[in-house]
Amino acid sequence: MKPSKKISTELLSNVEKGNLVFQAILKGVPYIGEPINHLIYGRLEELRWKRIERTLNEVAEKVKQLGYEPKVNERFVRILERTIPTVAKETLDEKRTAYVSFLANSINVDSDAKEEEARLVSETLEELSAVALAILAGANKANGTFSVVSHPTPQVFAGKFDENKPEDQDIFHQLNYQWPVVEVWTRRLKDQRIITYGSHGKYGFHGGGVMLLGKLVNDWCITQGAD
C-alpha cells in the first residue's frame, strides 16, 4: 500500500500552521467541535461574502434614495477597502446599517480633508457597539439637551428628566438593552468625547449634549431615530 503523501509544514506560513492545529483541536472536541469546525472552515466565508453583497446592494439603494450622482473614484475605493473587512464580520444589523449610511456618504469624497474625515469616522465607528450607536441616535433625535435614564425603561429622554417622578415620564427613544449595558456605554461615549452630560443621578445621566465628534459620526452614519 502506497504511503499517504504529507504536506511539508515548511511550506506553510505560521498562520496556516496555526489554523491546521486549531482545526485538529476542534475536531477532537465532543458535541460542539464538529459544528464549529464546519462553520469556521465551511460556511463562514460564504456568509461573509453574502453580507458584503447585501451591504453593497443597500449602499446602492441608499445612494439612489439620497439622490446622489455617484462619482466613484480611488478615494472611495480606499475607504471601501478599509471598511469591507469589518462589515463582513458584522453580525449586528443595527451597526451594519450605520456602515451602509457611512459608505453611501463616502461615495463622492473628493478631497484630502473629506477623506481624512471619513477615515476618522470609520475608525470611530469600528470602536462603537450597537448600543453606543443607539444612544447616539437618540441623542441626535433629541436635537438638544437629553438624559440617558433607566426608568420607566432604558431610554434617551429629550429635555429635562424629573427624577422625582420617573414613572410619569414619557418614553422618547427606547433603548432595547439592559440598563448596565446602557450605563457602561454612556460613560464610554463621554470618555471618547462623543457625548457629554452634566450630572449623574439615581436614574441615570442628565444635561446631555452631543459633542463635535458625535455630530460628525451622526452626519456620516446615523439613520436610526431620524424620522
Residues 200-225, mean pLDDT to the nearest whole number: 87
pLDDT value of position 15: 53
Radius of gyration of the chain (CA): 23
29-81 pLDDT tens trace = 776 767 766 666 666 778 888 888 899 899 999 988 888 887 778 898 899 98
Asked whether the predicted pLDDT for residue 6 surpasses 70, the reply is no
Mean pLDDT over the full length of the chain? 84
Residue (of 218, 201, 199, 134) closest to 172 by Cα position: 134
145-172 pLDDT tens trace = 999 999 999 999 999 899 988 888 889 9
18-29 pLDDT tens trace = 556 666 666 667
pLDDT value of position 5: 46
Residues 112-121, mean pLDDT to the nearest whole number: 94
The percent helix, strand, coil of the chain (3-state, each to 5) is: 60, 10, 30
DSSP string, 46-108: HHHHHHHHHHHHHHHHHHHHHT------HHHHHHHHHHHHHHHH---HHHHHHHHHHHHHHTT
